[in-house]
A and B are shown apart, each in its own frame.
Chain A
Amino acid sequence: MADTSVKDPQVKKAEPLFGKAERKLLVDPLNDNNPITVQVLGICSALAVTSLVYPSVVMAVSVIFVTAFANLFTSILRNYIPKQVRMIVQLVIIASLVTMVELTLRYLNYPIYKQLSVYIGLIITNCIVMGRLEAFAMANKPWRSFIDGIGNGLGYGVILIMVGIVREIFGKGSLFAGSPIELKIIGATDAYMIDTTQSVLFGWYANNNLMVLPAAAMFLIGIFIWIQRSYNQKLVDVS
């Protein structure tokens, strides 16, 4: 990936590269301003890929890449973008970044590319990306926008991976299936299914098929929101 991460010398001179404000931009989306559970953005493309952790991680990384760089480029161009076609320009930027992600995945890891299929393309309409461009990058300097992009991508990724972990452990009994570090956590292994003399941990556990259904992701996010709001009263929906 041809990264062009730091490229705004004026900002460096004027204020610290990573001060309090930047820290807030990075940390806020993880809890108080989480894109999924608080801003309710970017749920669409997320749910279908979270039945396993590994694709969730790949998806999260892709989204972080896209939000960060879409924010960066939009912010650089923000004073030149004509208002009339603002949306189309933003979408072109996002779409080309997503195309790059797709091509890169195809080059680096073909099986996972196959597995994520259309959901890679759907990052384009992932409302977080667009939402952050509108709400932040159009009005802020490149470096801060870049941090904001990473923060929001992370906030999204954290939820995605959390959902993925719960769904995979209870739905499949494993973790990181399909990746080089596949772990079998609970339930009978494939080897056990073929040869029952093999002993396994918690071999009695039967996979919970509800967890692999897409609906489980909805329940889990609902429950995450419940837990988060019980601790964070200011987020409670009064309406």
Chain B
Amino acid sequence: MHSTKYVVIFVLILTSTVAVLLAGFREITKEGAERNEDIFNKRAILLAVEDYLGDGVKVNNLADGEVLNIFDTQVKQVTLNAQGQPIEDGGVKAEDIDMAKEKKKPESERKLPLFIYESGGEKYYIVSVRGTGLWDEIWGNIALKSDLNTVAGAAFDHKGETPGLGAEIKDNPTFAEQFKGRTIYDNGAYVSVNVRKGGAVDKEHEVDGISGATVTANGVSDMLYKGIKAYEPYFKTLK
């Protein structure tokens, strides 16, 4: 048995050594980790416009530098307030908006990121949406064509959906593929794109659900409906 004094000193030395080591290790890796996170997020955004990046270009095959380059040269970032008005300089950059934090704020205080990707004279409006799936949060980026009605592409991700079921929204490219060409307005009325269990009936505004993942699919529908609607006031000013 050791004396209490020994125990206290031992524990203090151990914990402080460990804390210093870890803090040092974190400092070394911090920059790289942040860059990785930045690229990871930007890839997710570009995934929504994958078809328009150029012939046969796959987002996941792009080198890190290329991702950043596309973002610098071809993407315009706009930050909107909850009323759909662009916030001019002085506000946060769209890429720095943390959707998870925004979701926790009251709706009237949220900021919305909008990425406008330009390629071959066409503009694509990429909106970010976030909602709740079965276990946890789900989110996605939806690209709209310049008519602000037709979906040009979509990409989803999730925090902890069931692998093989809910997680298919990300893992199975055919799920996101279905969104292409769907429209979010039905004769001028906002309807969003709905995920229907058992298969899409209305091929204009619906996509097939994933069998066994009804709750996640409903979460996606709900997220899209609310998420895209938030951008509506701004889109109206563009039309």
Binding site for B on A (CB under 8 A): 51-52, 80-85, 88-89, 92-93, 96, 99-100, 103-104, 106-107, 110-111, 114, 117, 171-172, 177, 190, 193-194, 207, 209, 211-214
Contact = CB atoms under 8 A, between A and B. Distances in A.
A89 B177 contact: no
Given A81-B10, A84-B7, 7 more contacts: A82-B2, A89-B11, A103-B26, A107-B32, A110-B33, A209-B164, A212-B162
A84 B18 CA distance: 20
B165 A212 contact: yes
A117 B160 contact: yes
Nearest to B10: A82
25 contacts: A52-B163, A81-B10, A82-B1, A82-B6, A83-B1, A84-B2, A85-B11, A89-B14, A92-B14, A93-B18, A96-B18, A103-B22, A106-B36, A110-B39, A110-B40, A190-B174, A194-B177, A209-B164, A209-B211, A209-B212, A212-B162, A212-B164, A212-B165, A213-B164, A213-B165
A104 to B, nearest CB: 7
Contact of A212 (B2, B22, B39, B163): B163
A213 B164 CA distance: 7
Contacts of B187: none
Contacts of A193: 174
Contacts, number: 78
Contacts of B177: 194
B164 A96 contact: no
B208 to A, nearest CB: 11
B22 A100 contact: yes
Contacts of A117: 159-160
Contacts of B22: 96, 99-100, 103
B200 to A, nearest CB: 15
B198 interface: no
A103 to B, nearest CB: 5
A171 B172 CA distance: 13
B29 interface: yes
Interface of B: 1-2, 6-7, 10-11, 14-15, 18, 21-22, 25-26, 29, 32-33, 36-37, 39-40, 159-160, 162-165, 171-174, 177, 211-212
B144 to A, nearest CB: 22
Nearest to B173: A190
B33 A106 contact: yes
A93 B21 CA distance: 12
A111 B40 contact: yes
Nearest to B6: A82
A177 B172 CA distance: 11
A114 B40 contact: yes
Contacts of A213: 162, 164-165
A190 B172 CA distance: 8
A171 B212 CA distance: 14
A230 to B, nearest CB: 30
Given A106-B29, A110-B33, A84 B164 contact: no
Top 4 A-B pairs ranked by shortest CB distance?
Answer: A212-B164, A110-B36, A107-B29, A51-B163
Contacts of A190: 172-174
Contact of B164 (A92, A104, A171): A171
A172 B7 contact: no
Given A96-B18, A103-B33, A85 B7 contact: yes
A177 to B, nearest CB: 8
A40 B1 CA distance: 32
Contacts of B159: 117
A104 B40 contact: no
A142 B171 CA distance: 43
Contacts of A107: 29, 32-33, 36
A63 to B, nearest CB: 19
A213 B25 CA distance: 36
Contact of B174 (A85, A92, A111, A194): A194
